[in-house]
Amino acid sequence: MKTDRKLRLGVNIDHVATVRNARGSAYPEPLRAARLAEQAGADGITAHLREDRRHISDEDIDGLVNALSVPLNFEMAATREMQAIALRHKPHAVCIVPEKREERTTEGGLEVAREENRLAHFIAPLREAGCRVSIFIAAERAQVEAAHRIGAEVIELHTGAYCDAHSEGRINDRDAELERLGEMAALANDLGLEVHAGHGLTYDTVRPIAAMPQVMELNIGHFLIGEAIFLGLGPAIVEMRRLMDEARE
């Protein structure tokens, strides 16, 4: 087991860019949101540069790399284009996610087990450049073990199925998902992987995930940006942090 048990919060600012791009305007600025998130206690900022640039742009990444004082977690698909961008910026962390043009959001985890060889070669230069490489996967043994074999340092467990089951009132499914997430967090930790989690988390769903002792970081975006409409971004983040800390105790 690792000794540092502090749970970090990475705030994903993609959907600040979604709102900006809805009007093709210059505002709201993702960088301003990132600065506010830092002040409110975010331990890191997460941004996903998608192939179709539907929210975060290349200029946003340039700005974040230059201006942030907390670590940037750069989410990207396993493509040559994204690899070149990551190698140019060398962000603190790179999270490899699956990406389909037609999806509304990142719907599933990466099929590491099916693409082991390609992914091992893909992440090697990123690791050599000093980026912490994280692999976004479903809570499945085959994926955790494959992520370990390809040389990733971190896995991020996809919490979307758990959150969907919760919001749809499928209690048995929700509990089964939680059990699976807990088991895979423990397995990954035993293998020496650092465990992160995220996708779809809200004030209602964050606690059981935050309470898992192996989970070291949560990445949360859509809910916080939505909640910012009502509370303001700073207070929305402060409340999430409070719930995480409470669950951790």
Question: Is residue 14 a contact residue for ligand PXP (CB under 6 A)?
Answer: yes
Question: Is residue 194 a contact residue for ligand PXP (CB under 6 A)?
Answer: no
Question: Is residue 95 a contact residue for ligand PXP (CB under 6 A)?
Answer: yes
Cβ-proximal residues to 150 (8 Å cutoff; 6+ apart), any chain = 112, 116, 119, 120, 123, 135
Say whether 199 is catalytic: yes
Cβ-proximal residues to 158 (8 Å cutoff; 6+ apart), any chain = 106, 108, 109, 136, 137, 138, 139, 197, 198, 199
Question: Is residue 48 a contact residue for ligand PXP (CB under 6 A)?
Answer: yes
Say whether 158 is catalytic: no
Say whether 107 is catalytic: no
Give the whole-angstrom CA distance, residue 158 versus residue 54: 21
Q: Give the shortest CB-72-to-ligand PXP separation in angstroms.
A: 14
Site string for ligand PXP, 113-152 (x = CB under 6 A): -----------------------x----------------
Q: Which is nearer to ligand PXP, 1 or 72 (CB)?
A: 72
Catalytic residue among 15, 38, 55, 75: 75
Q: Give the shortest CB-3-to-ligand PXP separation in angstroms.
A: 25
Alpha helices in 129-170 (DSSP H): 141-149, 160-167
Cβ-proximal residues to 54 (8 Å cutoff; 6+ apart), any chain = 18, 21
Q: Give the shortest CB-10-to-ligand PXP separation in angstroms.
A: 8
Give the whole-angstrom CA distance, residue 198 versus residue 15: 15
List contacts with ligand PXP (CB under 6 A): 12, 14, 48, 75, 95, 97, 105-106, 136, 156, 198-201, 219-223
